[in-house]
Amino acid sequence: MSTLIPDALIASLKTSQALVVLTGAGVSAESGIPTFRDAMEGLWAKYDPAQLATPEAFERDPETVTRWYDWRREKCAVAKPNPAHLALAELQRAVEKEGRSFTLITQNVDRLHQAAGSRSVIELHGTLWVWRCIRCCQEREERQVPFAQYPPKCACGGNLRPGVIWFGESLPEEALNKTYQALEECDLFFAIGTSAVVQPAASFLHVARQHNAKTVEINVASTPVSRLVDWSILGHAGETLPELVRRAYAA
Ligand code: BV8
Ligand code: ZN
């Protein structure tokens, strides 16, 4: 299915001096990773994700919370980058080859952008591949799935927690600083596969608009920002992004 991508957007993409892309769970959906709102299949049907993704939930029930993250980690372990991830990596290469700036900011915790070849990815909400001991604070990448016990334990005996940013926790300062710097210089901003609900990520499009950037949304459904953007493209990221890159940079 060829989604309708306006020529004006292609022209803007080819002349943009500072491109900023914000991705959400919708970009990983075509890799088989449930989006945040529908990450509640089967066993998890009786939980509200926003209730599980909090420090209080971990404090109250570290076994259930770490089982949920390990269930998601197992899905991520078999997931491969999809054409959306690959197209964004190709776009970054094409834009940077012409000496223009490209910033990818993701809300996703699966690291599929990095697996697809994207570089200098800003991880707003951390990653479920890094786990941290709540006693000695030692942090390390845990690629072995599944864990042998819940909650998983550190060598010091402390409980391990996932290295993600939970609701109620502040975002990493460095990630936020880099984000706001990119938004100040941005002249073209994409929001791709995000429900535009979670703060502060949902405010970035407004910041880009305040700096007179043109804005684009790619989503399979409309969101609270669909009526604000310059171009709202209804389509799957895995189809739309490859078409966008082909039309702008067809070899
Ligand atoms: C903070 C990691 C300061 C964990 C996540 C103002 C008002 C009210 C509340 C707040 C506020 N400001 C701050 C808050 C609190 C809270 C918040 O935003 N609450 C929301 C619910 C209103 N924010 C925070 O707590 C943040 N911290 O602000 O610090 C502070 C400190 C103390 C006290 C207060 C404030 C921290 C937020 C980070 C939470 N962690 N992830 C984990 O993953 O388990 S958020 C998590 O949900 C995901 O990472 C993701 O970011 C988010 C879900 O959003 P999406 O990515 O958009 O995914 P979703 O499923 O919602 O949508 C998918 C979209 O894709 C859909 O639109 C769908 O149509 C589309 N789609 C599907 N398939 C496709 C597709 N599109 C294209 N192609 C497809 N194939
Ligand atoms: Zn420890």
Residue 49 and residue 21 share a domain: no
Per the annotation, the verdict on 125 as an active-site residue is yes
Distance CA 18, CA 101 (A): 5
Lowest mean per-residue pLDDT among 26-30, 138-142, 247-251: 247-251
pLDDT of 1 over the 70 cut: no
Q: Could you tell me the residue range of the domain that residue 137 belongs to? A: 42-78+129-164
Asked which of 107, 139, 164 is the last residue of a domain, the reply is: 164
Task: Express each pLDDT in 173-211 by its tens digit.
Answer: 999 999 999 999 999 999 999 999 999 999 999 999 999
CATH number at residue 121: 3.40.50.1220
**pTM (2 decimals)?**
0.96
Question: Do residue 51 and residue 91 come from a single domain?
Answer: no
Helix (H, G, I), strand (E, B) or coil at 195: coil
Question: Which ligand gives the minimal distance to the CA of 27?
Answer: 1
Average pLDDT (77-83) is 98
Copy the structure tokens of residue 159.
Answer: 């409980």
Residue 153: how many other CB atoms lie within 10 Å = 15
The CA 130 to ligand 1 mean position distance, Å, reads 19
Ligand 1, atom 72: closest residue by C-alpha: 26
Both 216 and 239 in a single domain?
yes
The alpha carbon of 94 and the centre of ligand 1 are apart by a number of angstroms equal to 30
Catalytic residue among 85, 113, 125, 236: 125
**Residues recorded for the chain:** 251
Residues 115 and 179 in one domain: yes
Q: Look at residue 19 and give its three-state secondary structure.
A: strand
How are beta strands 160-164 and 18-23 bridged, if at all?
Answer: unpaired
As a whole number, the mean pLDDT across the chain is: 94
What pLDDT sits at residue 43?
59
Q: Do 54 and 139 lie in a common domain?
A: yes
- Position 34 scores a pLDDT of 87
Q: Is there a single domain that holds both residue 152 and residue 179?
A: no
141/242 same-domain check? no
**Residue 92 near ligand 1, beta carbon < 6 Å:** no
Residues 183 and 241 in one domain: yes
Same domain? 189 vs 73: no
Residues 150 and 111 in one domain: no
Count of the separate structural domains present in the chain: 2
Ligand 1 close to Cβ of residue 125 (< 6 A)? yes
CATH classification at residue 136: 3.30.1600.10
CA pair distance 10, 240, nearest whole angstrom: 12
Q: Which atom of ligand 1 lies closest to the CA of 39?
A: 60
Q: What is the mean pLDDT of residues 109-135?
A: 98
User: Please, which residues have CB within 8 angstroms of residue 174's CB and are 6 or more apart in sequence?
Assistant: none
**pLDDT band at residue 251, thresholds of 50, 70 and 90?**
low
